Amino acid sequence: MEECKLEKLKNFAGTRGPLTLIIMDGIGLGEPSDSNAVYRANTPFLDKLRGECPKKNLFATLKAHGTAVGLPTDEEMGNSEVAHNALGSGRIVKQRATLAKEAILSGQLFKSEKWNTLTSKLIENNSTLHLMGLLSDGYVHSHISHLFGLLDGAKDSQVKKVRVHTLLDGRDVPPQSALEYITQLNDKLEQINTHHSYDYKIASGGGRMKVTMDRYYSDWEVVKRGWDAHVCGIPEQHSEYSGYFSSASEAIKSARKQDPNISDQYLPSFVIINNDGDPIGKMENGDGVINFNFRGDRAVEISEAFDDLDYGFEKKCDPNIYYYGLEQYDKKKDLPRNYFIEPPEVDDPLSKYLCAEKIQQFAIAETHKYGHITYFWNGNKEGYVCEDYEKYIEIKSDPSEMIEDNPKMKAIEVKDRLIDALASKNYEFLRANWANGDMVGHTGNIDSAIIAAETVDKCVKSVVEKVLELKGIALVTADHGNLEEMGEGQETAHSLNPVMFAIIDGNYNGEYQINHDIQDPGLGNVAATILNLLGYKKPDTFMPSLIVFN
């Protein structure tokens, strides 16, 4: 790591105690309103920071969405993956969503050797192409325009039979919007079938939090339900829900009849059948599958199952299938074996520079955000950058809990372990993520969201007090908005709001201040700021620091 050595600042030796970055996941800066859970909550410490830090010129608002975090346009909400990429990489990284959009909508993907190899096999064997992924325009894991582009690519390549396996969102889009996307998809399929006499249909589906899209090995049953429905044609069933339907719309309406308030993300799995009662999209030997999600974390486990790696459930069927990811989901695991688009990767994230300077680092989050504070933070690299100078702690989330019923989640445990790490005096730079704002915000339950905000406020206060006791500096920020904009108490998606960046330095004597000359400061400016506060100049690859020295 010699190439990542840093130059010391001449006019600032760095913090005397530990530098600690606090990331309040999903807590943005929103307008005061009844739908702002942070505003409605009792958050005296965050209120204090927002009041006092600007007076010292140690407070900034940062862009956390759209092009500021590498997404295609400023219409796209930020998310935890792209945010932690920017925070840990010190720059704007061209994100998976942008790469997918460019490859599909330009048609370059369909000119590739990989595409021609797959489609030629399917045409030669009269086999089916299956497209599986999240059906929405949330642009966090997928986008419906990418699915439509793949359908057009299959049509133009003369693939005559396609089955779509729809994972329903209700999380990055309104909670009961699935029928809108199903209607759009049905219209697209009908258009192709009518003009080309092809056989393109929806075959199965289910809610993203219930079916297929588990992450960080929280609950393999989620993946199993997806495998059973998509691959084997076997849905969830109980006394009041058959699981077999003539259309996706019928399946969604049936689930809502049982529970009118159910969010799309929790819909049970379903399978579409023909007039004879047979599944129309059960996968067979020689079929091809493309996972059209571009984001990796919720595509890893299902990909391991298709690639016959260490999957954690018993398969009810196991056909020989050609499986492709839209992008590579995990480079270290070479997962999946087949994919179309190379993922973004940063060769010199912040952690690499800190390792080169032998700076001891500590990172902690509960399971829901552990990959963000490690893998995504480190420029999409699995594992430690340098284990000799890093310690990662995962606080296990409870996979069985209904988050809105337990809005405190594992916040207290994260706080306690972080304070223990600070008390050990073993670490110079520490980073932590509190998942509550994002995860509870996604439930749409504003009463739970208020509790989440109050819980995070108390945890941040305790950590900052410990940092100040140790003569250190605390940085309080967020990765994107969510909790501060919940509509009528039912909004589940992220927001386009900026996030706070506050510096709390008990030894501050005017040595530095926020640099207001930076136009549209964003999350990519944080890494250089961290280096400055540790006493180092930023590398040329990093965006400017948020502070300037007096």
Catalytic (active-site) positions = 80
Tokens at 199, concatenated? 């056989």
Q: Please report how many Cα atoms fall inside a 13 Å half-sphere around the Cα of residue 525, on the Cβ side.
A: 24
Q: Do 476 and 464 form a contact (C-beta atoms < 8 A)? A: yes
Cα separation, 72 vs 49, in Å, equals: 33
Number of other CB atoms surrounding residue 471 within 10 Å: 13
Among 368, 358, 326, CA closest to 343: 326
What's the start-to-end Cα distance of the chain, in Å?
32
Crossing angle of helices 248-258 and 178-196, rounded to 10°: 160
Three-point CA angle 107, 113, 117, nearest 5°: 110
Q: Do 403 and 441 form a contact (C-beta atoms < 8 A)? A: no
Among 275, 251, 271, 273, CA closest to 262: 251
Among 214, 223, 351, 221, CA closest to 296: 214
Strand-strand pairing, 512-514 and 547-549: antiparallel
Cα separation, 90 vs 522, in Å, equals: 10
97's enclosing H/E stretch is helix 96-105
Q: Do 35 and 481 form a contact (C-beta atoms < 8 A)? A: no
Among 49, 14, 24, 17, CA closest to 530: 14
Q: Do 205 and 166 form a contact (C-beta atoms < 8 A)? A: yes
Among 291, 165, 286, CA closest to 233: 165
